[in-house]
Chain A
Amino acid sequence: MKINRELCDVCGTCVSVCPVDAIIVSEFKVDIDNMKCINCLNCLKVCPIKAITEDK
């Protein structure tokens, strides 16, 4: 999963639906730990600004 930092508003919505706690928020940015990620696409579906894409 890849986050477009230009779009991301650091709102944390994606974190709440990640089943494996692979998303980390801090004051200014959000990071996805692709080692933990199981590609369920939940985060991508709920992001209000569609800042997450599949990193193929």
Chain B
Amino acid sequence: MNIKNRYDVVVIGAGPAGSVAARFAAENGASVLMLERDREPGIPVRCAEGVSHNGIAPFIDIDQRWIASKIDVAKLHSPNGETAIMRNNGTGYVLERRIFDTALCELAAEKGALLVTKADALDLVWENDKIIGVKYKYLGEIRTVKCDIVIGADGVESRVGRWAGIDTSLRLEDIDTCVQYTLAGIDVEKDTCEFYFGKEVSPGGYVWIFPKSDHTANVGIGIAGHLAHEKGPKEFLDEFMQKRFPNATVTYTVYGGVPTAAALKELVKDNVMIVGDAAHQVNPITGGGIVQAMIAARSAGKVAAEAVKQKRFDAKFLKKYTKEWDKTLGDTQKVIFKMKEKFMKLTDERFNGIVDFCQKVPADKFSLKALFTEAVKGDPKLMMDVAKAFVVSKIKLK
């Protein structure tokens, strides 16, 4: 491996956002270096690994190597113990993210991007108030690499935006603090995702069961940051485990945070673009960010390559990416964010009502639109927004 000291584009982080941005920048003619702090892309896995087929198919050919299970059914549990079954309108998967993230990096490499693992970005390099490169640590040595564009794809722990002068800090209300166990020795249905709601189970969030086989599953919880102080996600999840899976073995434990904000208003600065979790491009209700990251990264990568061709690295030019993001998902995310604020305040009675409503809809007639519309009933303005979001966006909620 030959790391040069100059590239057109340096991508920081090799998650789905980074590898897809790198791929599309390289494919469109830019020279690209990707820096990843960890020893391997995709690990440690900090994810429940649920995605929709329609979400990922445009980016990668489906490969059984990274599919654990195929999901066709969602089961909702209300606070009062009722359940409702909905058949998904479109298949979902539970991934093996460790392999999936690497496969995405392989696609970037095929297009000519170079990935360096164990390379920790430390700061941006400035000259005359202009960003001209990245300082990073590789095998104990501090190095710099020059570039025209830095793409910050550095996940929830992102600092690239801050280095460039964008305030990326989240309000406590807008981060879900999460714990997840991968369980073995349990009985679940391989094609069914389950969700539990209610303030006793998971205040301001939900518990999920994403099966990886009939006997293993990712079982996790996310609770809103401002509600997690006294009793944290681990305590809530352990209580849930006692009730549902008292004899399970935990083969893997995940801690992590999911941004549940509206996406960053400022996605670019001169010479800098921010994508994925780093830009809070996550569905604020479901917490799904894999597909969002890839969609945003495709735009960012293409715009970066175009910027290289035209030698235009100013924020004004790079805003093409911001505009495309708003058009594809950004405007929808704003509406979903408003709905999330409402969701957080839903009482257990309302959740019971929603599950009750779902029970009455035939499983195959079910849509997320119907569910959200029911959830925001009594708020005509928000109902209009929801309707608009579904009309405007051709992309379904995860």
Which residue numbers of A lie inside 8 Å of B, CB to CB? 9, 11-13, 15-19, 21, 24-27, 42, 45-50
**Contact B178–A25 (Cβ < 8 Å):** no
Q: Give the docked Cα–Cα distance between A47 and B259 (Å).
A: 14
Interface of A is mostly: loop
Chain A minimum-CB-distance residue to B233: A48
Chain B contributes a number of interface residues (CB within 8 A of A) equal to 35
**Contact B172–A45 (Cβ < 8 Å):** yes
In B208-239, which residues have CB < 8 Å from any A CB?
225-226, 228-229, 232-234
**Contact B256–A45 (Cβ < 8 Å):** no
**Contact A49–B234 (Cβ < 8 Å):** yes
**Contact B172–A42 (Cβ < 8 Å):** yes
Q: A16-B259, A46-B177, A49-B255 are in contact. Are A25 and B157 (CB under 8 A)?
A: yes
B44 CB to closest chain A CB (Å) equals: 8
Q: A13-B175, A15-B159, A16-B157 are in contact. Are A48 and B37 (CB under 8 A)?
A: no
Q: Which residues of A contact B49 (CB under 8 A)?
A: none
Q: Give the docked Cα–Cα distance between A27 and B172 (Å).
A: 25
Q: Give the docked Cα–Cα distance between A24 and B226 (Å).
A: 22
**Contact B257–A12 (Cβ < 8 Å):** yes
B344 CB to closest chain A CB (Å) equals: 15
A55 CB to closest chain B CB (Å) equals: 18
Q: Give the docked Cα–Cα distance between A13 and B257 (Å).
A: 5
Task: Specify which of B120, B175, B254, B255 is in contact with A16 (CB 8 Å cutoff).
Answer: B175
Q: A17-B170, A17-B175 are in contact. Are A48 and B156 (CB under 8 A)?
A: no
**Contact A27–B157 (Cβ < 8 Å):** no
Which residue numbers of B lie inside 8 Å of A, CB to CB? 37-39, 46, 118, 120, 137, 155-159, 162, 168-172, 175, 177-179, 225-226, 228-229, 232-234, 253-257, 259
Q: Give the docked Cα–Cα distance between A53 and B172 (Å).
A: 17
**Contact A46–B46 (Cβ < 8 Å):** no
27 contacts between A and B (CB under 8 A): A9-B253, A11-B157, A11-B254, A12-B155, A12-B157, A13-B156, A13-B157, A13-B175, A15-B157, A15-B158, A15-B159, A16-B175, A16-B259, A17-B169, A17-B175, A21-B162, A25-B157, A25-B159, A26-B137, A27-B39, A27-B120, A45-B172, A46-B175, A48-B177, A48-B179, A48-B232, A49-B255
Q: Give the docked Cα–Cα distance between A13 and B234 (Å).
A: 14
Q: Give the docked Cα–Cα distance between A32 and B351 (Å).
A: 40
Q: Give the docked Cα–Cα distance between A38 and B188 (Å).
A: 46
B97 CB to closest chain A CB (Å) equals: 15
Q: Give the docked Cα–Cα distance between A6 and B120 (Å).
A: 22
Interface pairs A-B: 10 shortest CB-CB: A12-B157, A13-B257, A48-B255, A15-B157, A9-B255, A11-B255, A46-B225, A45-B229, A46-B177, A11-B256
**Contact B257–A27 (Cβ < 8 Å):** no
Q: Give the docked Cα–Cα distance between A14 and B268 (Å).
A: 24
Q: Which residues of B contact A24 (CB under 8 A)?
A: 159
**Contact A46–B228 (Cβ < 8 Å):** yes
